[in-house]
Every structure is written in C-alpha cells, then in structure tokens.
Amino acid sequence: MWASGDFPKVALETIPQVGPALAAAAGVGPGQRVLDVAAGSGATAIPSAQAGADVVASDLTPELLAAGRAQAESLGLELEWVEADAEALPFPDASFDVVLSSFGAMFAPRHQVVADELVRVCRPGGTIAMANWTPQGWVGQFFMVMVPFMPPPPEGFQPPLLWGVEDHVRALLGDRVTDLRFERAMQVMDRFADAGELVDYYRDNFGPTITAYANVAGDPERTRELDAAFRAFAERADLSAQPGRTRYEMEYLLVTATRA
C-alpha cells in the first residue's frame, strides 16, 4: 500500500514540519545514536541527521527507503537505511539513545508487539518519541472515510488511530518508561485551492486512498459512493473562509518518554 502512489511527495508537501518537531521534542543532537522506526522516506530521520545524530532509518517498504536515501544524498547527509519490520526490529537490545517514529509504527498491525520493540532497542535512560494521528483529528476522520472501502485488514490487526489515544499508549508502554508526556500538536495544510483539488491529489498520490479506489474499481456504484464521501469530507473539514483557498488542521499526538 505505501509503495503505491508517491508517499515521499505527500509527506514533503503536506506534513513538512512534523519530522523536525519530533526530533526537537526528543532532544536529538550530536553524538546520539538514533533509530527512526517505520521511517518511510526519512521525514524524521533526515532532520535528525541534520541535527548531528548518527541515524538509522528502518522501514518495511524498500521503495520508500530508496527515496529517502536519494534525498539524504542530495543534502550531503549519511544515514543507514535498513529494511525492517517494526514488529521485529533487527537490532540488539538497548542499542539506541533515541527511538523515534513519525506516523509510521502506528500502522503496524500488533500494537503491543511494536511497543515492546520500541522499548527493547532503546537504552535505559534513552528517549522514545512518537508522532501519532489522533482519531478525532483531520487525518483520523479522513481514514474513517476510507475504511468502508478498504480491503479486509490482516488477522490480529488493531486500528492505527488507537496510537493517538493517551490511555492506549500509556497501557502499551507501561512501567517500562518514565516521564511519559503527551502533547496535542497541529500541522496546518493550506496548499489546495478547493476540496476537489485535495481529493484529486490524494487519489493520485496517497497509498491508502489509491488502495481504497483500487478495491472498488470493479464496482461503479461503490466508486461513486467513495467519491461522494471523500468530497463531502473535504468540504466540511475545510476551515478556510477565503474563496480559492482551503485550510485543514491536522491534529497529532506528540509522545515522549524515558526508558526506565
């Protein structure tokens, strides 16, 4: 799903501020060994490298890693890019000072397994930090529009948006962390002239939306239903009062914790 479309383009154009904000919240700096889990094309890994850290970017999708590697090289940055599953990270225990994930690990099916891995690879006293979409935010509602049109999820799947619920994250990490903190943050997206332009953009470039349309491609009525639902959402979620311009406020949960 994440290899379809152009996720690196979407990340760069719609959520450019989140990766740097997450790296800053985690206190990433020179001399630290940092792991970005489910790093995609490096939206958080690259700012972490720019902050002077020794960065490993891991992701299950090789196409995204290739895009991230190319961007890093164009910036003169050296990162290690590793194909890896967030549920089975190929790294020793306690091998990183900082473990990050920006809208990545939250999409792995088994949440407790992922949380266990994040904790395992972080050294005692190290930092675990995540940016996770909230259920009530723009992206959470956007995904809820897509869900009825998506293929059935894999066995054992848990909804990704639970990672945007404080009690859920607290239960997953448990007493293995201290100084667990939550902050509601916002990424503003105002690059589209109207709701129709947004719909076209995500339909052409964003893997989950492409997957939803592909799943109903053989059913014209279901395709029309998806079109209508997506367009209606884009119109009602627009907070702009200016003609010819949209404004969408994309809430996420910023999580930071110290490994006990």
pLDDT tens for the chain, 260 residues: list them.
Answer: 999 999 999 999 999 999 999 999 999 999 999 999 999 999 999 999 999 999 999 999 999 999 999 999 999 999 999 999 999 999 999 999 999 999 999 999 999 999 999 999 999 999 999 999 999 999 999 999 999 999 998 888 999 999 999 999 999 999 999 999 999 999 999 999 999 999 999 999 999 999 999 999 999 999 999 999 999 999 999 999 889 999 999 999 999 999 99
Q: Which two tokens stand for residue 165?
A: 């619920």
Q: Quick one: pLDDT at residue 154?
A: 84
Q: Quick one: pLDDT at residue 84?
A: 98
Domains, the chain, ordered by start: 7-134+154-188+251-259 (3.40.50.150)
Q: CB-based contacts of 254: which residues, under 8 Å, 6+ apart?
A: 21, 22, 25, 129, 130, 131, 182, 183, 184, 185
Tell me if 246 sits within 8 A of 192, measured CB to CB.
yes
* Residue 107: closest CA among 135, 132, 136, 78: 132
Q: Which two tokens stand for residue 28?
A: 């990433």
Tell me if 87 sits within 8 A of 107, measured CB to CB.
no
CA distance 212 to 145: 10
